[in-house]
Structure 1
Amino acid sequence: MRKALSLFTLMAVLFLAACGSENNNNGAANEEEVEDEIWAEIQESGELVVGTAGTLFPASYYPADSDELTGYNVEVFREIADRLGVDIKFEEMAFDAMLSALQSGRVDMIQAGPREDSREKFAFSEPVKYSYSTMIVRSDDLSGIETLEDLKGKKAGGAATTVYSEIARAFGAEVVTYGNVTNDAYLRDVHNGRTDLVINDYYLQSLALTAITEFDITLHPDLKFHPTTNNVVTKKEATVLMEKVNEIIAEMKEDGTLTEISEEFFGGQDVSKEPEGEIIEVEGIE
C-alpha cells in the first residue's frame, strides 16, 4: 500500500511539474506574441505613427511659408518608415508628452536621449545623433572662463528647468531665465554683458552663430562637456520593431543616408558620427 501511495505521489508530482512546464511555455509564447503584436499592428495598418515636436529647428519644424513638416528627426523617421515598407503619420506634441504617448500606444515611436529611469520602461535604438554641450561666450576674453569651475559667480542665460541650466548651477553660476524669447535675445545679452554665457547643444549653438553674426560672441574653443545621443525609442516589448529599426539605422550609416540628412540640416556637419576629442562627463547630470 505504501509503495502504491509513493507511486501515486510521484505521478502527481510529475503531473504538476508537467503543468508548470506547460504554463511556463505558454507564458513564453504569450510574451513572444505580445512582442510581435506591435509590429504586427503596424504591418496590418500599413502605417507607422510617430511623435514629434514640430517646433524645434532643425530637428522637427515647419520652414517659413511652408506647411510641410521637416527637419533631421522627421526625415530620419521618413526614411525608416520607407525602409519598413509602411506609410508614416506624425503626431505633434510637446516633448514632455512624448513618453506618455508612447507608453499609452498613441504613437509607435519617438526620438529622445536615454536616461536611467526611461531605460527601464522603453527600448532605445543605436544613436542616430551624437552631440555634446558647449557654451557661447564673449569673443574678447571668453567671458573669463577657462574651465567649468570658472562658471562660479557667472551669469548664464537659459530656461529654468533645462539640463543646461542644471549644469550651470552645478558649477555655481546664476541662471538668468527668460520668457518665450527668440534666440537672439540670449546672444545679445552675452554680447552686452548682461550675462556671461549660454550653455546649449553644440550643433544648435553653431547654427545660431552662423545665422546671427552681429554680436561679438563665439563658441568656447576648449570646453566640450556632457555627451548626449538621440535615439529612436519604442515600447520595451516592441522587440521585433526595434530589431528592424536597428538594422535600418546600421544600413543608413553604411550607405551614407544619415550623413546626407544631417548635412542638409546641420550646416554640412555630420551628427550621425561620434564627435572627436575628449568630452567631459559632468558628474551627477544625466
Structure 2
Amino acid sequence: MRKAFILTLLVLMTAAIAACGNKEDSQASGQKEDSSHWKEIKDKGELVVGTSGTLFPASYYPEGGEQLTGYDVEVMREAAKRLNLDLKFQEYGIDGLLSAMKSGRVDMVINDMEITEDRKNEFTFSTPYKYSYSTMIVRQSDLSGIKTLEDLKGKTHGGGATTVFSKIAEHFGAKTKTYGNVTNDVYLRDVENGRTDFIINDYYLQSLALKAMPEIKVQLHPDLQFHQTESAIVMPKEAGQMKKDVDAVIKEMREDGTLTRISKKFFGGKDASKKPEQDIREIKGLDL
C-alpha cells in the first residue's frame, strides 16, 4: 500500500552541490509519493486506520456490543466523514500498530498515541486532538508501596513493551511485564493480585477504566501526576498533503465544539481536547 522510498544520486558534482541537490530531490520525490498515495486513498474513497479496540475509553467494544467506539474512534469517524472518505478500522495490539503503519497495512493509526521526538523521527503526526498527563494505578491496600516515582525501582510495571509509559517506568528502575492485545481488566487484576505493582498510563483512560470496573481493588495514586502529553493521529513520515487535510478537519472540529462534545461523552463530562491546568511534574533525563 505504501511503497518504500529510496533516492540514489547518479552523478556527484561537488559535495555542496550534491548535498543541496539531494535535499531538493528528496523533498520533491517525497511530496510526489505522498500526493500519489493520498490521491489513491481519495480516489478509492476508503481510509484504513489501525487501532487496538481494547483501550477503554479510547478504542473499545461496549459490553454486549459489536460496534467499535471510543473517543479516538469517534474523532476518527468524524474526521473521515469531513474528508469524504469511508472508514475501515483494522485492529492490532498496541505494540503492533506502528509496525502496521510501516508495512502499509494501514494508512493511519489512532490509539491515544502520544507525540514524542523518537516517533517524530519515523512518522508524521496530526495536530493534537487530546491533551493529558500520566498517572499511575496501584493497589488500594498499600498504594503498592509507592510514595514517589523514585520508589518504582525494583517493582513490576504492567504495559506494552514499546510504550512511553514503559519507558518512564524503566527510567525509574522498574521492569515491565508485557501483554498482547488484552483488555483493561487483565492489567488491573494483575495489580490487584500482585503479579504487577503498578500501571502507568493516561489520566483520562485510567480514570474511566477504574470507574467501569469498581470491583477490582486498585486506584489512581493520589499524589503522582507527571509527564504532560499530547495525542494525535499518526501518519507515514512523508505525509504532506495528507497531514494538511487531516489538520484542517481537526481544526474545524475544535473550533465548532465537536472535539469537546465527543470528549465529554467518553470522559465523564471532562474536556480532554484542552490542555490541563494542573501542575504536572516534568520527568528530567528521559529522552522520549
Q: Same fold (TM over 0.5)?
A: yes
Give the total of aligned pairs. 262
CA gap 1:66/1:35 in 2 versus in 1, 3 angstroms: same
Residue equivalent to 1:212:
213
Which structure would you say has the larger Rg? Answer: 1
Residue equivalent to 1:158:
158
Cα distance in 2, alignment partners of residues 24 and 207 from structure 1 = 47
Cα distance in 1, alignment partners of residues 80 and 217 from structure 2 = 44
Give the deviation of 1:145 after TM superposition: 4.3
- Percent identity over paired residues: 54
TM-score, normalised relative to structure 1: 0.76
Give the deviation of 1:78 after TM superposition: 0.7
Residue equivalent to 1:76:
75
| SS at structure 1 position matched to 2:55 | coil
User: Mind listing any 5+ residue stretches in structure 1 that lack a counterpart?
Assistant: 1-22
Answer whether contact 2:157 2:174 (CA < 8 A) is retained.
Answer: no
Q: How does 1:117-196 map to 2 (within 5 A)?
A: 117-137=118-138, 145-152=146-153, 155-159=155-159, 161=161, 163-173=164-174, 182-189=186-193
Q: How does 1:1-286 map to 2 (within 5 A)?
A: 30-111=29-110, 112-137=113-138, 145-152=146-153, 155-159=155-159, 161=161, 163-173=164-174, 182-189=186-193, 197-214=198-215, 218-282=219-283, 283-284=285-286, 286=288
Cα distance in 2, alignment partners of residues 79 and 25 from structure 1 = 36
User: Mind listing any 5+ residue stretches in structure 2 that lack a counterpart?
Assistant: 1-21
CA gap 1:224/1:67 in 2 versus in 1, 3 angstroms: same
Letter in 1 for 2:206: Q
CA gap 1:211/1:33 in 2 versus in 1, 3 angstroms: closer
TM-score, normalised relative to structure 2: 0.76
Answer whether contact 1:132 1:225 (CA < 8 A) is retained.
Answer: yes
Cα distance in 2, alignment partners of residues 83 and 73 from structure 1 = 15
What are the Cα deviations for residues 199-241 of structure 1, in whole angstroms up to 9, with x where unaligned?
3321222113323335665423332112222211112222111
Cα distance in 1, alignment partners of residues 92 and 65 from structure 2 = 19
| SS at structure 2 position matched to 1:134 | strand
Answer whether contact 1:138 1:216 (CA < 8 A) is retained.
Answer: yes
CA gap 1:55/1:225 in 2 versus in 1, 3 angstroms: same
What are the Cα deviations for residues 156-213 of structure 1, in whole angstroms up to 9, with x where unaligned?
45247354444334334566778966244145347xxx87644332122211332333
| SS at structure 2 position matched to 1:126 | coil
Residue equivalent to 2:8:
none
